[in-house]
Structure 1
Amino acid sequence: MNTQQARRCVLYARLSVTKEESVSIARQLLSCRRYAEARGWEVVGEFIDDGVSATANKPEDRKGWAALLAATDFDAVIIWKVDRLARRVLDFLHADEALQKRGAGLVAVEDPIDMTSPQGRAFAVMLAVFGEMEAEAIRARVRAARAQLLKDGRWAGGGIPYGYRSSTNPDGPGWVLVKDPERQPWLTEIVGKALGGATVNAITTWLTTAGAPLPEGSIARRKSGATGWNRQTVDGILRNPVLAGMTPHNPGRPKSAKRADPFAVFRDETGEAVVNETLAVITTEEFRTLQMLLDSRSTPQARKRSEREPTSPFLSRVVRCDDCDVFMCRGTNQKRPVLYCPSCRQTMSRSAFDPYLITRLLDERGAEPLGGSTVRAHWAAAGNSDEARREILLTQLASLRVRRGVVGRYFDENRVLLRWRDSAAEQPSVPESQSQDRRP
């Protein structure tokens, strides 16, 4: 694509978080429109990803960029700067490759790049390198600032644990964590019951029945008429290392992995966990015992087979957690089927997820050829066999991942990252479980 000859273009803008120094989506699009007008190009579409991090989300996994690639009849994409598209070199190259395949080129308003020549492409890659370096520098500064706050014994911000509150630092600037006199007795009782053998569900029921005050800012408090506790909240309270006076701290942990490791805590130069005795309600050994109790009860495979809730094998070893890159496991939550990540513990309810996948499979791939017939025909022949249905789904999938999002009452399809196989690729073979059903 020669940028001098392009006549039809689309605009793309992205912003992670609106700040005073950031360039808003509207300003990015305005600059791109002016550029197109100056070149005499026709703008045929505008696509945005607002509130989306380029570091945490690849271009192909963003809703706006995916919609752009699905559009037709354009030969140039105008962005404000290279880092609006990607902050990793590999992500930038993959995005540019996707545009090349459709004969489109990339133009940046503030970065004078020309993707039609080897020199221009090399310069664009250099800009992407600098963008990646800048993102890493920002992360390093944030990690260093947080580490210094913790070293000084100050509160580094974030969600305040149940049973505690923030208070002005009596020894200097900033804030410190102190016990909340209203909720501290409830916290002590919660921990005591858990160490005594009570299950998370039992503690949740007791808290609701007893009318225990909910955590400050709890999602449950904002729901109209909702006054009860939920097991996820209780489980999170029991897994917080502040119970033993330790401070959660793992600079290398993904932001979304809220409970990746309860022992990822702030440590001193010798590697020993820093313990603030004034905040502790149990010892570090008791905290370790508590985590072992929780883990033994939260993993379905750890229970006796007779005690497990039966779940459908339809998505067994099919869905990966986008944060941890591991297969999500089958399980139940309050007797409802879910998928959960064994590493970061994120969950996805299957009550809506399974029907959503089936609908998309039949609507988008039903007419695809499969074993001398079509996907839809084989699906009908599979009947109610979840194993046979799983084999059909696997013939069409390139990848299926679930990322974190707001977990609530309603199904959020934006958490689902689904890619089908290339239709032009070699036709997949018929599932073995149905091959015997084929007529000669």
Structure 2
Amino acid sequence: MNTQQERRCVLYARLSVTKEESVSIARQLQSCRRYAEARGWEVVGEFIDDGVSATANRPEDRNGWAALLGTTDFDAVIIWKVDRLARRVLDFLHADEALQKRGAGLIAVEDPIDMTSPQGRAFAVMLAVFGEMEAEAIRARVRAARAQLLKDGRWAGGGVPYGYQSAPNPDGPGWVLVKDPARQPWLAEVVGKALGGATVNAITTWLTAEGAPLPEGSITRRKSGATAWNRQTVDGILRNPVLAGMTPHNPGRPKSAKRADPFAVFRDEEGEPVVKDSLAVVSVEEFSVLQNLLDARSTPQARKRSEREPTSPFLSRVVRCDDCDVFLCRGTNQKRPVLYCPSCRQTMSRSAFDPYLVDRLLAERGTVPLGGSTVEAHWAAAGKSDEARREILLTQLDSLRLRRGVVGRYFDEDRVLLRWRGASPPAIVSNAEDLSDA
């Protein structure tokens, strides 16, 4: 790389967590500017990733670095130290390769490296190795510190479970978990209902109707402004092992594991769960029963996508709830396909609804011209493709809404409010002839 090429450069800075001993983003950029000024280089851009861990995020996955690579007309990238770019050797090599492809070099202010020579490149790789070793040492220290806190019965930090709060440790430094007197009665009622056979959805509806206080920091609200619970929150509360006085402890859980193992808890040297009776709402045995109930009643939406039973997309975002004015969602009830409202929870079995709708479409709109043919001809050509059938249905629909009705075993067509395109609005009263004779 010659002097002419090195006159245009960009700066890059990264910081995971702001601490007193950390070199701030501003200080990193200031050092990089001074380096560029001392060599007479023109700085054409500055890019940062603040609050981003180099261990958990590859350079190409960071917004700042991605924006840097999207910039043109520079031939050098100045960073403060190698570990600001990457803490894993492989990540560092990939980032350097991306710069090489565009003819740019990497310069570190505090690490005297020259990436234009084989010796400099080898030295840079060695620094990246040391950076990875340092990151692993930090992780080991954090794991050891957390294990010691749990062994001492202290609160290791993180989200405070519902019904509990952190308080100063009466026996020494740090914090401990204690019961929250304002939310404990609600927690006990929730657990009691679940053990008594109530579903998560039923408990969620009850909490919202009763105006139960939400978890600290929660801002879930309805359009009316009233607080509203959701089933994911309730499910998470019921799966937290602190209910049985146990402490969640599953280090190394991958980010892809959205639901933590409720029995991944802190254990003693014999492998038995450490139980703090002062925090327990139920026994360990009752907690196990509760988990079995939850697993047996988990809705398809709560399972991993690979474990869900597929449902037909024929009516996806087609039918609206007449009360709530939101699209009905697809789901299953006792392994039978249904549509349900995410707000008021009304449901409609699709076993009868789908054939009813298809029959009406073909009977009332089958001869309507469509794409040089007719609706009926296009429907026959669509075969069993639910996506193609949905597109045909949408060409004919003006609106399709479902209103609440009497819960029963049989399909009630009076619940269906359907209007075709170009058709006059339906009568408000379905039994108009009976009324006219009155």
- Aligned-partner residue type, residue 166 of structure 1: S
Give distance in 1, aligned partners of 2:247 and 2:328: 34
- Aligned-partner residue type, residue 300 of structure 1: P
Give distance in 2, aligned partners of 1:232 and 1:225: 20
Partners of 2:312 and 2:386 within 8 A in 1: no
Match in the other structure for 2:188: 188
Match in the other structure for 1:53: 53
| CA gap 1:256/1:25 in 2 versus in 1, 3 angstroms | farther
- Aligned-partner residue type, residue 138 of structure 2: I
Q: Compute the displacement of 1:202 (Å).
A: 1.2
* Structure 1 residues 12-411: aligned runs within 5 Å: 12-220=12-220, 225-254=225-254, 259-300=259-300, 310=311, 312=313, 336=329
Give distance in 2, aligned partners of 1:51 and 1:302: 31
| CA gap 1:2/1:167 in 2 versus in 1, 3 angstroms | same
Q: Compute the displacement of 1:104 (Å).
A: 0.8
Partners of 2:164 and 2:179 within 8 A in 1: yes
Q: Compute the displacement of 1:14 (Å).
A: 1.0
Aligned residues: percent identity? 87
Give distance in 2, aligned partners of 1:50 and 1:141: 23
Give distance in 2, aligned partners of 1:170 and 1:52: 35
- Aligned-partner residue type, residue 127 of structure 1: L
Partners of 1:250 and 1:264 within 8 A in 2: yes
| CA gap 1:46/1:226 in 2 versus in 1, 3 angstroms | farther
Give distance in 2, aligned partners of 1:106 and 1:150: 43
Partners of 1:309 and 1:335 within 8 A in 2: no
- Displacement over 6 Å in runs of 4+: 221-224, 385-388
**TM-score, normalised by the number of residues in structure 2:** 0.67
SS of alignment partner, residue 12 of structure 2: strand
Give distance in 2, aligned partners of 1:105 and 1:223: 53
- Aligned-partner residue type, residue 62 of structure 1: R
Give distance in 2, aligned partners of 1:107 and 1:75: 11
Give distance in 2, aligned partners of 1:175 and 1:255: 27
Report the count of equivalent residues: 322
- Aligned-partner residue type, residue 20 of structure 1: E
| Structure 2: runs of 5+ lacking an equivalent | 315-325, 332-381, 389-438
SS of alignment partner, residue 165 of structure 1: strand
| CA gap 1:301/1:250 in 2 versus in 1, 3 angstroms | closer
| CA gap 1:212/1:255 in 2 versus in 1, 3 angstroms | same
SS of alignment partner, residue 91 of structure 1: helix
Partners of 1:2 and 1:116 within 8 A in 2: no
Give distance in 1, aligned partners of 2:296 and 2:238: 14
SS of alignment partner, residue 277 of structure 2: coil
Rg: which structure is higher? 2
Deviations 1:73-97 (A, max 9, x none): 1111111111111111110000001
Partners of 1:3 and 1:76 within 8 A in 2: no
Deviations 1:8-53 (A, max 9, x none): 1111111112221111111111111111111111111111111111
**TM-score, normalised by the number of residues in structure 1:** 0.67
Q: Compute the displacement of 1:218 (Å).
A: 2.3
Q: Compute the displacement of 1:115 (Å).
A: 1.0
Partners of 1:10 and 1:46 within 8 A in 2: yes
Give distance in 2, aligned partners of 1:292 and 1:334: 32
| CA gap 1:136/1:287 in 2 versus in 1, 3 angstroms | same
Give distance in 1, aligned partners of 2:222 and 2:36: 45
Match in the other structure for 1:355: none
Q: Compute the displacement of 1:174 (Å).
A: 2.2
Give distance in 2, aligned partners of 1:14 and 1:156: 27
| CA gap 1:121/1:309 in 2 versus in 1, 3 angstroms | closer
Give distance in 1, aligned partners of 2:327 and 2:270: 43
Q: Compute the displacement of 1:272 (Å).
A: 1.2
- Aligned-partner residue type, residue 148 of structure 2: Q
| Structure 1: runs of 5+ lacking an equivalent | 314-332, 339-381, 389-440
Q: Compute the displacement of 1:270 (Å).
A: 1.4
Give distance in 2, aligned partners of 1:266 and 1:247: 6
- Aligned-partner residue type, residue 310 of structure 1: T
Q: Compute the displacement of 1:224 (Å).
A: 10
Partners of 2:222 and 2:228 within 8 A in 1: no
Give distance in 1, aligned partners of 2:41 and 2:223: 49
SS of alignment partner, residue 6 of structure 1: helix
SS of alignment partner, residue 54 of structure 1: coil
Q: CA RMSD in A?
A: 3.1
Partners of 2:5 and 2:75 within 8 A in 1: no
Partners of 1:204 and 1:229 within 8 A in 2: yes
Partners of 1:200 and 1:231 within 8 A in 2: yes
- Aligned-partner residue type, residue 291 of structure 1: Q
Match in the other structure for 2:11: 11
